[in-house]
Amino acid sequence: MGISSNRVENFECRETVLTIPAEAMLPPPPQQEEEIHKVCLPPKQTTFQKLKHKLSEVFFPDDPFYKFQNQSWLRKVILGLQSLFPVFEWGPGYTLALFKSDIVSGLTIASLAIPQGISYAKLANLPPIIGLYSSFVPPLIYSILGSSRHLAVGPVSIASLVMGSMITEAVSYNEQPTLYLKLAFTATFFAGVFQASLGLLRLGFVIDFLSKATLVGFMAGAAVIVSLQQLKGLLGISHFTSKMQLIPVMSSVFHRKDEWSWQTIVLGFIFLLILLGTRHISIKKPKLFWISAAAPLTSVILSTLLVFLLREKAPGISVIGHLPKGINPPSLNMLYFTGPQLALAIKTGIITGILSLTEGIAVGRTFAGLKNYQVDGNKEMMAIGFMNMAGSFSSCYVTTGSFSRSAVNYNAGAQTAISNVVMSAAVLITLLFLMPLFHYTPNFILAAIIITAVIGLIDYQAACRLWKVDKLDFVACVCSFFGILFISVPMGLAIAVGVSVFKILLHVTRPNTIVLGNISGTQIFQNLDRYRDASRVPSFLILAIESPIYFANSTYLQERILRWVREEEERVKATNDSPLKCVILDMTAVTSIDTSGIETVCELRKMLMQKSLQFVLANPGGNTMEKLHKSDALERFEFNGLYLSVGEAVKDISSLWKRLP
pLDDT tens string 149-195:
899 999 998 899 889 989 988 898 888 999 999 999 999 999 999 99
Q: pLDDT value at position 11?
A: 42
Pick the more confident residue, 634 or 576: 576
The pLDDT assigned to 459 comes to 86
Determine the Cα–Cα distance for residues 327 and 132; give it in Å rounded to an integer.
9
Domain boundaries, the chain: 95-433+443-504, 510-659
- Write phi, then psi, for 522 (nearest 5 degrees): -135, 175
Q: What is the pLDDT of residue 414?
A: 87
Distances (CA, A) of 193 to 12, 198, 201, 391, 392: 50, 9, 12, 12, 11
Confidence of residue 289 (pLDDT cuts 50, 70, 90): confident
Instruction: Report how far apart, in Å, the C-alpha atoms of 485 and of each of 235, 437, 479, 648 are.
Output: 21, 37, 10, 58
Residue 419: CA count within 13 A, CB half-sphere: 32
Report the CATH superfamily, name and number, of domain 510-659: STAS domain (3.30.750.24)
Residue 193 near residue 389, CB atoms below 8 Å: yes
| Strand-pair partners of 593 | 549
Task: With residue 141 as reference, give the H or E element that holds it.
Answer: helix 137-145
pLDDT at 24 over 60: no
Element (H, E) at 480: helix 471-486
pLDDT of residue 388: 96
Confidence grade of residue 52 (pLDDT, cut at 50, 70, 90) = confident
| pLDDT tens track for 297-341 | 899 999 999 999 888 887 778 888 888 889 999 999 999 888 889
Share of the chain above pLDDT 90, in %: 34
Helix (H, G, I), strand (E, B) or coil at 400: strand
pLDDT one-digit tens code per residue, 244-255: 788 888 888 888
Residue 335 is predicted with a pLDDT of 93
The DSSP call for residue 319 is B
pLDDT of residue 639: 64
What percentage of the chain reaches a pLDDT higher than 70?
Answer: 92
Per-residue pLDDT at 23 exceeds 80: no
Query: Is the CA virtual torsion 325, 331, 336, 342 positive or negative?
Result: positive
Q: What is the pLDDT of residues 378-406, one digit of tens each?
A: 888 999 999 999 999 999 999 999 888 88
Distance CA 231, CA 246 (A): 12
User: What's the rounded Cα separation, in Å, for the pair 379 and 417?
Assistant: 14
